[in-house]
Structures are given as structure tokens and as C-alpha cells.
Structure 1
Amino acid sequence: MPFAYNWLSKQQKANIEEIVLETYDGKVVFQLQCKNRSILPEICYERNGPSTLITFEQYELLVPLHFLDIFLEDLKMVLMNQETFLEYFRISSKESGISDAKCFSGIDAILKIRISALAVKEVHFTKITVSQGISMIRYLNSVALSSLIISEVESVNFKDLSNGLRNLEEDYLFNLRIGVKIIDEEDVIGINENRTNVPLVKKPVKQKTPIFTNVCEKTARDVLENPLLMEIILKHLECFDIQKLRKVNRGIRECIDTVKPDARIEKYFVYFDCVNDWSQMNTDFSFESGTFIRYTKWADDNESHSNIRKNKKDWTEVCLNDFETNLRHQKSCIDELSIVYISRVWSVSYEDLSKKIGKILKRRRHPLKTRKFSIGSGSQMEIMEILPAIDKSSLKIIELLHPVVKYFCAKNEEMPLEVDRISRTDQWKNSEQLISKFMTITTPIQDMNILHFAELDILVLTLSSRDVNYLRTMPFAYEWLTKQQKTNIAAILVDIYDDKIIFKIDWKHGRSFLEISYERTGRFTFVTFEQKELMVSQHFLDVFLEDLKMVLMNQKIVLNCFKVYSKGNGISAANCFSGLEKILKARTSALAVKMVDFFQITVSQGMSMIRYLNPDVLSRLLFVPDEPVSFEKFLNGLRNLGKGYRFDLKITVKTIGKDDLMSVNEFSSFSEVIHYLRISSEFLRHEDECRAILSDKFDLQKGSDWFITFKNPILMKTRCREKARIIPNLCEKTVRSVFENHIPMELILKQLECFDIQRLRKVNRDIRECIDTLKPNPLIFTINNHQILCVCPVFPYHPP
């Protein structure tokens, strides 16, 4: 069973990139490095009498087993679950080496039972015998292995090395480096034997791509230079594949530029590394798939790398041009954009480079969407050049990284950073999480605008008692909600009393409301939620509004209803609506609510809130206002609404008279806003005069109450659908060459289901024969009682 392996997070287990092992006579030190250069703390397995002490970060465990057996159990879990390429695997022997034999025997046994060979790019053995190292190599992926290093050995038996290399499969091809203290005459003979007899130069045979010999160039050009077909093909390609396809010819390049395909980049990491001076610099562009490009200006032209682009002129222009090309048409939201400025000296400035990156992002038609933005810079001005160019609605996490590589800093000192200007940007205000573990923020707490963040992990220079009081205005009962509850709020109900507020929240598929109570107790507020209690030295309205702010600012899904009841003298309701209006105004997007109900709320208070709601979602507004009612205020509120509102309006009052009906007649002029109108009243004064005053556009009826409605219900206006794009330059011959060609037709049929395929077969004989040849999957998953249920390609069906 695994031990320390269980202490790793799921993300750490899935992103292991490097493994380093150090074996001692009485312990093993095990270190892992994850993607994005994140080095995990060492895991130590040390003999402690008859037992083993395991340490990792704050964890400790004493196990009554041999330290090598425990280590091999954890290593087995790491290697058996390793699915991605390992960049580096190093094993070092630090003492007499008595543990090495058992360690390698265990590693060989683990690698042997893997379903597929472990993929490692570089393997490094330090003070390890050749026979032990070569025995492990045969279980590694032959295509992935590119470098084998054996260093710090006393002597090497090159005959054993030759035998080990002969036992390898023929498709191994790697660089071999050996560091040995002494070489004698026999060793030279063995080296010559390696050079002449070992078949190391045979390249692995790649599987040949099938070639369709019956497709002429003209047909291929008709297919690949057609924007409709190219749009389907490009959906299956990523950034670099699209760039390669653009280089085929001018027609394809112009076709791709017309379509403007999404590069579908998931993660983008940019490292600008200053090595000694500006003449030697590296930039790594890393993607989720592991692809990277390195731009460098080397003095030595003999050094080469398969993924390195050399440029003796201006490396910045080359890499920035590629940066713009890769992100120019990125439409989907990137999971993370990380820009890190690395320097071995403190005096290097990247402000000019930041300006160029900012201009590239601002030249995009739409702001770049990214969920997380990480930047390693020591200057606020450098960050300000880039941050405003990012889409404010998609950005959720901002991380301020250390601009200097740690192993180049003797003391790893913290760097100061001001954020007074950054904190005023919309991107900062809309983010939910702020991380600054290595940069010390010197801006005062109260000037940082951090109260809206749901999560904070930052270093600050000082923290005063005033700052503590300021931070206490952070949410109270909101923190008691689980993450799942926070993200699934579907209904809100607020009961306002003179000395307390009852805040009720319902979730998706919930059966009952959960209540949070804010009650005045002298100069304090007593907050209760389920079994939790809290006493706060603030006014109960201020405490409630802080929690309401966190709920509404983080509300992403549509609210089914929002109800407000005033059950006091109205003073608390006025202050509550004033705060509510400020919260809705501060949101970056209008709050989406289907139904809004106001009870004993003034008309002006309710209508002032409606203008901050999403007009496309609001479908019903119910008013049971505080008496007396002014219908003129309803009309003024409707006049102040923006465009796009369309909802049912229901108003319930106690008494209505002939003076009120003069204003009611004007509701007919808001037929574009009011889909259905119903005004209910318990009493009607001067019935005959009221009927004479009321316009013929309304009906006045008597049931249990009097009610007024539109005589002819106004139908809901349907929105016009976006017209399909028509390309007028396509002749029938070109269209036939696309739909009667097996290659493009196969791509098209993957997007269609059963009945769509049947309709397409009826177009003509050649298309029908083409479809019958391909035999496409109709995507049917249920046939029951003569009912056929098909799978929509956008939402694939996964059977239980």
C-alpha cells in the first residue's frame, strides 16, 4: 500500500515531470518536480531502528517496515500511474551503495509490470554501476529516450556496456555520456568495440501516413481552399498544426485567414530569461500538450536543439511576432496565461517588453480571455502594460510571481511591489482570487481594494489594528456556506424587520430555504446560521449587506426568484435598498433573475432595482406595494428602464379610484415592455365613473377582487435568428467536389445524426453513393416503442 504517495494532491500526481532519487545506506530521499517548474519538498524514508520514519512537509509517519520496501511502494504508485512524458529521471548513490542493488531490482520489477514502457527523455545515473543502469534502460520507451548520462563512476567495464547495448531493441537512438575517473588500454578497446559493433544509429521506423493516390491536385485545392470545408478541418487542429497548414500555398493561407480559426490554446507560459546580458536570452512558449519553442541568440553556432530557433539579429521581434500570431484568433478562454521575467541581476528592466506585449494584446479584436493570469515582475508599471488588455469578465485568478529564479538568489529575499494602480483596474475588481506568496505588497491594506476577493493568499509589509478592523468588514455568514452551496444559489428571499434581517437562500433542486439571521443586540449584531453563531461589533444592516454583496457579486447562474418583504416601519428597508442598488451597480454584468417579488416596498425602491437586472432573463415583476400607491411612479420607473425589457407586471393594491385610472391608461403606451398586465384591488371607488375613465384597451372585471388587464394580450416578440453566412462565389462544381469526396464527407458526417444523414443522401446520386461507401455512424442510442433517440454531437452520450 502507498504511504507518502497519498499525501500528494490529485493535481500533483497528474503533473509529475521530473524524478530525482538519492540512495544512502540508511535512507532514501525522493523528490518530484511538477509542470510549470514547481518543485515539491523532499520525501525522506529514513531507518529508525526496526522501523522507518517518513517525512514530507508537515507530515510524519513511523512504519514498522524496511525503508527500501516503503520507498518502493510509493515509487511503484508514481511510476504505475505516470501517463505523461518524464523530462528527467536521476538516480544517485551517495554512500557505500549497499542499498543500490535492492533499489534497482525493485525498479526493474516495477517497470516490467507496466502496461506500456515508461517514457523518459533524459536519464542520469550518478555513482551507479553500468550493469544496474543498462538493466533499467531496456524497460524505457525507445522513442522517447534521447539522452543517457553515467557520471562520477570509478571505472566502467565497457565490455559489459557493449553487451547491455546489444540486448536493447534496434529502435533505440540516444546520446550517451560517460564520466569516469580512469581509462586504461582495455577500456579503449571496449570503446572501439562499442563504436564499431553497436547498432546505435538505426532510426525508429515511423508509421507511414496513408496516401490517397486517386485525389488530383485540383480536387485537393477545391477542398482545402473552400472556407466552409476548411472551417470543419480546422476544428480538429491546434495552434502549431494551423501554422504548418498555412505554409502549404497562398490559397490555403488566404482561406485560413478568412476563417480565423480558434487556436484552442489551453495554457500559455512565457519565460523571458536574461542571461548575463541582453545578448543571450531564452523564451519558452509552453502549451498544455507539452509543446514548447525556445528562442535564443547563442555565440556558439555548433549547439543545436530540435525545438530551438536561433536568431543572431533580434530575438525579441521573432518571438513577439510568433506570440501575436498564436494568440491573434484565440477565441476560447485560456485556462492560464503566465508571463515571467527572469533575471540573474536586480537592475534589468522589462518595461519596454511589457509595452510591446500589451500592444499585441490590445490589437486583438476582442480582449484575450483567460481564467488565470500569472505574472512575475518586480514593477507595477510592467504589469499595468498587460493587465488591462485581458478580458475582465473571464479573469478569476491573479497571481503575482517572483521575477527572479530562486536558485540564483542567495537569500531568496522577498521583493516589494505596489498595487495602488493595479487595484483600480476592472480586471482586479472582477477577480475572485489573489495570490502573492513571494512578492511583498507595500500598498496599505485599505488602498488595495481587496474586500471583493473570495480567496486571499498574500504577503503584506505591515498589518495594523485599523487594518484588522477594516478586514473585519469581510463576509461573515457567507464563509459558512460550502463551495457547492455558493455556486448553486437559485433563489433569494429577504425579510426586513426594524431590528433584524432574515436572509433565506435556496439551492438548485432544493426543497427548503436555509435561514441566516442578523439581529441587533445592543451595539452588536448577532449572526446565526444552523448551529453556527457569531457576535459582530457592527450595525446589523452593514453585516447583512457585506454577506449579500458576496452572494450577488459571485452569482453566475440565473436566479429563479428574488423576493423582498418589509415587515417594519420601512427605515431599514430604505437603507437596505440603498445598499442593494450599490451592489448591483458594482457588478460587471447585470444580475440574471427570472421573477422578482416586492411586498410592502415603495414603488420607487423597487423600480430603482429593476434597471440593474438582466433584461433578457426577467420575465415577471410582482408588486404588493406599501399604501398609498402612486401609479405615476410606476410609469416613471418604466420610462427609466433600458432597452430589451419584456416582462409580466402584476400589481396588488387595497383600493383604486378614478384618479388612479388616469395613470393606468398610460400603461398601454408601454406595450413593448409589459407583456401581460394585471392590477388587482380589493375595493373600487365609483365603479361607473371608473369604467367611463378606463381606456377601451383594458378590461375591468370583478371576481373575489377587482382586476384590470389588457383586453388583447400582446404576443411576445421573438428575436430574429442570426442569418446563416452565404458564400456567393461557390459554383456547383466546387460544391460537388467537396460533398462527393470521401475525405471531407467523412468529416462532415461526424457532425450529423441519423435523420440529417438521410436528408443529405437525397440530394443526388453521387452524394448518396459517397455516404453509402463511408457507412457513417447514425448516433442512435435508444430505440423503444418505435421512438428513435439520437445523440447530439455537441453533447455526447455516455451510456451507464
Structure 2
Amino acid sequence: MLEPIIYVMCQCLENSLQSRTEKLKVEHFDLSVLEINQVVSAVNLLDREILRMVTVHLPFEDQVFTADGFIPLIEGQGQQRLNLRIQLHKFSLKISAEVRKLLTFTSQLISITIICKTIDEKCIETTPEAKYLSDGKFVKFSIDHAEDPIEGMTMLTLSDNKFHLNIFEIPSIMRSIAPNLGCRQIQSLRKVSRRIRHCVDYIKPDPHIISCSVFLANYLRVDFEEMMNEKIVARYKGFLEQEAIRVVNDFDLNTRHQKSCMDQLYIGMYEEIWYSKKEDYPELSKIFKGIRDVLISRTSPLKVKRLTLSTRWQCLMMNVLPFLDGESLKSIRIQKAFKKDKEYRIDLDEISKTEQWSKAKELNTDLTVRTSIQDMNILMFERIFITLETMSQEDITYCRKNIPQSLVFKNFSLLIKNCSDFLTALGDLYRIVNNIQYIFWFRIENTPEYLYVNFRQTRPRRLVFSKVHQDDSPFF
């Protein structure tokens, strides 16, 4: 019975606040909600210059929250910093991780307090900075503003002729300048002085990185290309074993505030690493896991259009792909770092289960895939170019039956290393060209389109599925 009451209460409150000619002025706002967006909607209708504290009650045991839900509430706060209180049943490690993400909003928050009935003991071990009050029922995270440039500005006497103030130390000015800065300019500004560095870090400007490339070899290199057509190239003199941490730190420093969508993220191995290192090699794992930790620590997932991974180990890929923004990712490319005839195999059984994989539109790999095509979740792709180790009659039947049902499919090109005689599984043959090319046409029901299938008896064999409009078919 409580759920409909809370829902109606929140709806009536929002309607009432919307009907006012001026925003309601309150210092402390307290609300029980079913979803975080209910308190966000209500708070946005209050006078933010007066509001000092928001208390959110999550009355049901199964209610949890994510940082993303609270971010709109926090970002809408103006000059008046906010004390945020969240009342729930259990303070778990998962909740602790979400709170940590919110603590990065130093300019809008004073503290975050969790009021709970029970606390996971592991949280006490992993959050030493928190204060546990009232027999452990209150967990308070205070934010230190000692390094905050706004705090520093309150102590400046601008009328003092002896004091020289750099305009880049003023947050309001930096905020207006920052959108026009690229990655290289931001990093250059941070090196000018301690105050400017604090001001830049306070504003958190988007570096507008277009492409990031991490090259793993006996020498290491990380390239950042940005919208100003400038490039940051970080070269490391030491070997992989010596420089792994620096590579991860530089990746973090340059991408942590990236909000716009990057065209490409490339992480690849040069030939010497590809041949000599194993998938469980500690320093190689350290880099990939370090990048994973950087991606996890972000307040929102890194947006990338095209991900290119030059590695033959799925476990390393799983440190990157699942932590990117699934809505932005359009293309996944898994490739060799060099063009040689030697064959390398890869399994895609785990990576093909990720949300990012299911939302991407293109898949391309020149490594030989051991995973059955039936287990690769391919039907959400528009285009595929892959090499398969083997393809059975059952695989052909699966493709023939399911690919035409895909609403997004356009073209699948499959190179097949080993396959049985499966021509009969494809259906009625339309035409043979030069005794090596077998062509099939199938009408896709209830659409003006045909499924065009082209099988080439070459080495390796190539099987192509394409969707063709009837006007471009030989039948119209």
C-alpha cells in the first residue's frame, strides 16, 4: 500500500511546485521516493540558492541507487553547496562505490551522509575516510574544500595593489575559457602554477580528445589527438615492466574528464609483445586492469565510437569493452598488430555477452574465431567481417534462418577455414559462376527485400550474406 501513496504524494508535490509563480524557498528538503528522479524533479523546482540540505528516503529493502541518478540533482546546485543525506536499509559495497562517484562533485557538495539500518563490515575496511556515527547507523563522507579555488578566492583582497591575480586562477573566467581548450592546452595550463592547476581541476574541462592510441611494445607510447588538430605523444624510455603504472596514470590524467564522444580508442601490441608475452603476464595485465580501473572510476562511462583492440587474449579485452558507453560504441575491431600469414585463434564467448557488443553495429576481426557463430550474438550487428575456424551445417542453417529476421542486418562476410559440404543447407541454388561461386536468392517475407547469399569455394572459403532491395535483384 505504501508504494501508490508515495507515488501520488510525489506527483502532487511536483504539480504544486510547478504551479507556483516563484520557486519555493526552503533550506532543508526531505522526501520519500520510489525512484531518484522523483526527488530530482522536485528539487529542481525549489530555490537552489536557499537550499542547503536534501534528505532522500528509500523506504523499501530492495531499493538501491546509482550515482547517475543523483548527478542531475547535484549538478543543478548553484553557488550554495549541498549536504546530501540518503536513508536506506543497508550500506553495501555497491552503494559505497556509487557514493565515491558522487564525491567527485566537490564544488556542489559539502557532505554525503548515509543513514542505514545495517552496514556491510567490508565497507568499514574500504572506506577509512568515512565517519561512522551513532552505533554505525550514520556514515558521513565530508568533502575537503581546502584546495578549492573558490575557497581561495574568498581570501583574496583584489584592492591590494601588491597582489597580482592571474585571470586563469578565477573559476568563473576559466569556466568560460575551458570549452575552447583542447587536451594539450589544458595540460599546459596545469603546469603554469599550483593555483591554476587547482582551478583547472576544479572546473574539470572536457579535453575534447578525438582519438587515443596505446601502443604496447618494448618501448611504450600513448597518443592523444584532439579537436584542435594537435597531438600529445607520450613516449616512455623504460620497458613494459618499468612503465606500466605511468601509462595508466597518463591515460587517467588525460581522459578522466572526457565528456564528448571519441572517434577511436586503440589499444594494441607490437609484434615483439604479441609473440613473447602470455595472457597472464603480470605487467601486461597490470596495464589492462589499470585502464579498467580508470574506466570504472569515471562518473559516467567513456564514450567511444570505434574500439580497436590488437590482442589475441579475450581476458584482456574484458578489461576494456564492458566499461565503455554502450550507446556510443558503433564499431568493434579485433586485429593482429602486423600483417603476416601466421594464423592466430581467439575465443569470443565472454565478450559477445556484453551489453556493448550487443549494441555495436560493426564487427571486424582478422583473427580466427573458435567460438561457434551461434554463440556469438551476431544478429544485432549491421555489418560483420570475421574469420571462422569452422562452420557446420547447423551453423549454416542457423544463419539462413535467423539472419533475414534481423531488422538491422545489412552485410555479413565470413571467411571459413574449415567447413563441411553444406551447400544443401543453404537451399535452392540460383546460379553457379566459374564452378567456384554459388549464388542464392531468397525472398524475405513481408518486406521488399531479398537475402543474397554468395559462397566461394576458395581457400579460405568465403560466405557472404547481404540484404538487397527487390529493385536491385534480378527478379524486378
TM-score by length of 2: 0.49
Largest Rg, 1 or 2: 1
Q: Which has the higher contact order (CA 8 A, sep 6+)?
A: 2
